[in-house]
Structures are given as C-alpha cells and as structure tokens.
Structure 1
C-alpha cells in the first residue's frame, strides 16, 4: 500500500535542501507544507520566514523558526508549498487549505517557487479538481451568480472564513482547455479577490511516489 504521507515527507525533505543560511523563505499552508516546515526546522539554518497562514506561522514559531510579518516584505528568496493538483507544465490548482490568495502573493514575491506533493496530485488535466475561489462576503450572492456561468456546480464552504475574513466557494466541473482565460474571467468579476489557479508562478516541483522523489523544472526534463 502506498504511504502518501511518507511520500509527502520525502518530497519536503528533498525540497528544503535548496534552502541556505540567510535566506528569507515563504512557508505554504496545509498538511504537505507542514512537512516542509518541520523538515526546515530540522536543518537548523540561520533563516527567517514569512507564512501564508496563521496556522503555518504558529507551527514555524513553535519549531524555532523566526517568522516575519509579510506586510513589511517586498521579496523573498524561496517559497515552498503544496498543491491540490499539478500538471506536466507545472500549472497547479491550490487552495484546499483556503490560503490561496496569500500563497499567490508570497509566490509572486519569490525569486523561486517550489511545489511539493505525492504523486497522487499529478494530473494530465486540471479540470477534474475543484477550484477554490475567494470572495468578499459583501458580494456573495452577486459573485455566486456570475460564477455559475463558469462552473457546473458551486459549493460554499460552510461556517468558514479565510484569514482575510473572506468566503471560499469551490467550483466543480470547469473547462480546463484555457486555464489562463478562466483565470482572467474570474478576476474580472467584482468581488472575487483570488482563486486557486497557479499557472506561471511555479518554477519547480518535488513529487514523491513509492519512496522515490522526482524533481520537475519548468522548461526542463524531470530529474
């Protein structure tokens, strides 16, 4: 039987080997990112970090990593995060943990963005994965009506707010023939503040399956 959690841990350990002393590192959110935070703490490097969620910040601090307020940061050296799905072109869907807006901001500030996952997250097409959309509560009904034209089914996360105080709606059944066009359409809806499509942000992925880690680099063959 495949041990997905062990594979996530292996991918995390491999990815954090890219971290060096004096780096400012972006920490993602979710169970896979938690493995990266733990693996990073084990290395006991002289680094600082920014976190994409309160949960990740609390975990990092508890393990001895100094966490800075990203509001005072303009760039970071490296961001490490998980993904809900990732294809061969390093396009991904993220946001199961609800932190996709902060994750995208941190990724955009990073000189290099790495995704870590087990191989169950590798997909040929992204459209089979639910796509989280973060919206302002003020525009809930209006935005939901507009989103219904882009998805077959919408599910609002019950009794849930992001760290930004916003609602998350998961869109199911979407056309992945042109993800960039969908991303543009989503952000053209007033009230949408973020979504889980990461199309250009990811530079590399460490993906583990059955105890073997493969590294994918944008524009290069797997290693």
Structure 2
C-alpha cells in the first residue's frame, strides 16, 4: 500500500510518472538530482522491474547514482554513454520560456553538463516552481575554493551593472563548514530577487575567473511536466508550442516502494 504522501510529493510523483513514460528500451537517460528527480528514478526502476525496460542511466550526482544503483538501474558514466537521448530533472524555478534556475541540490555543474549532452531535456516540477520572472529563488554558482573571497568580491561588483533587484551573496554551508560539491568546489548563492536579463547574467558570470558554472539554464529545457496533487499533469513543449493535459493514476504507486531489483 502506498504510504501517505503530502500534496507536494503527490505532485512530484505525478510529474515523474508521466515523464517516465517517455523513456523507451535502448535509451540513454540522464538522471537529475533532488527530491523530484528521486521520484523519477523510482518510477524508472519500477518499469525496469515490471516491464523489462532496458536503459542505461547517467546520474548527475553521487546521491542520484547511489539511489539508481540501489534500485537496480544500469548506471554508466557520461564518457561511456557519449551522448544521451534525454535528461529528466527537476528545477528550482522555471519561466514561460522554460529558462530555469537549478542548483538547490548543489549539483548544477554535473546537471548542466549532462543536460547539454542530451538530445532533449525534460523538467518535472510542481506548479509552485513556475514564476513570471526568475530570481526569487537564490541563484547558485559553483566556485573553486582557491581565492574564494576574491571571486565573491568580483561577483558582487559585477552585479552592480546587472538588471537585478538584490545583490547579497552567501556561501552555502553544510553544518559548520562550507558545502563541498561532488567536484570539490563551493557554492555561492546570489540573492537577486528578480533577474531582468537572465541570458546576459549567465554569460557574464561565467567570465569571472573562479566561477566554474552558474545555475541559470538558458535555452536548454525542451519540455516541462507540471504535476498536481490530484494526479493531473500538464506538459508544455517549447519547441512544438503545445500544451497537453493528462491524468496520472496513483493506483499502482505502491510498486515504487517495493524491493529493488537484484
């Protein structure tokens, strides 16, 4: 029997289950990081167990890799895969043009590398992630530890010339020490409130020495699947210009909590 889930988790599950139906045998699939992406991993693992779906998966973090392996998915590296058919991931924010802010789970570097190596990117989210203008969620940037404060100062000076409403920055911590990413870097969170020109900001940030990558995903996402707690899903395709609605059945959702494949 399916455990009691919050409306938010049901919305994430609905989006993830709908997205999992786009995966076919033989595909090479990028797996995102975060709570919504974790539902996707569980949905794919259930299809592997029950339908014999044969896929190869490239995770975007150590966390996702461990979950995928534990559920019996065939995990390979991006170098082994070469290119991917699709990446499915969550987002912290998305706008009407399907531009994103990502990096709340501190995996933005690997997420962007995997997404751009894919023929298409599908984002799964609940409706709370949709915004008129990006920026309410803090924008993460991954920076190398060497010269951290110098890099931070350059970022803050650069923001003076950008179309943003806030310019506060903070170093992301894990307990009492700076958080360390899978690549051995740190995360600076930029509290911008509103980003007027996201493409310009993304390009300018990456020109600062010490900045490895930023959490703005511009013109990368092809489709967003928005889930609701009642199982309704809306799929928006930016390339086709279409909006489709569907209803996800939670009746067999208990199979997501079964034993992992051997």
Residue number in structure 2 paired with 1:84? 92
Gaps of 5+ in 1: none
Aligned: 1:222 with 2:243: yes
Hey, what's the Cα distance between the residues in 1 that align with 2:214 and 2:146?
17
CA shift at 1:142, angstroms? 1.1
- The higher radius of gyration belongs to 2
2:169 match:
154
Moved more, 68-77 or 122-131: 68-77
Match of 2:23 in 1: 19
Aligned to 1:29: 33
Matches within 5 A, 1:37-52: 37-44=41-48, 45-52=53-60
Q: Deviations over 1:121-178 (max 9, x none)?
A: 0111102121000000012011100111325111101221000000001000255221
CA RMSD between the two structures: 1.4
- C-alpha distance in 2 between matches for 1:127 and 1:61: 34
Specify which of 110, 126, 133 is matched with residue 125 of structure 1: 133
Q: Which of residues 179, 190, 193 in structure 2 aligns to 1:171?
A: 190
Show structure 2 runs of 5+ residues with no match: 1-5, 160-165, 245-262
CA distance in 2, matches of 1:83, 1:117: 7
Which of 10, 13, 23 matches 1:9?
13
Q: CA contact under 8 A between 2:57 and 2:73: conserved in structure 1?
A: yes
List structure 1 runs of 4+ shifted beyond 3 angstroms: none
Aligned equivalent of 1:74: 82
Select 1:213's aligned residue among 233, 244, 253. Answer: 233
> Which residue is equivalent to 1:138?
146
Structure 2 equivalent of residue 187 of structure 1? 206
TM-score scaled by length of structure 1: 0.96
Q: Provide the C-alpha distance between the structure 1 equivalents of 2:193 and 2:38, rounded to a whole number of angstroms.
A: 29
Partner SS, residue 184 of structure 1: helix
TM-score by length of 2: 0.82
- The match for 1:103 is 111
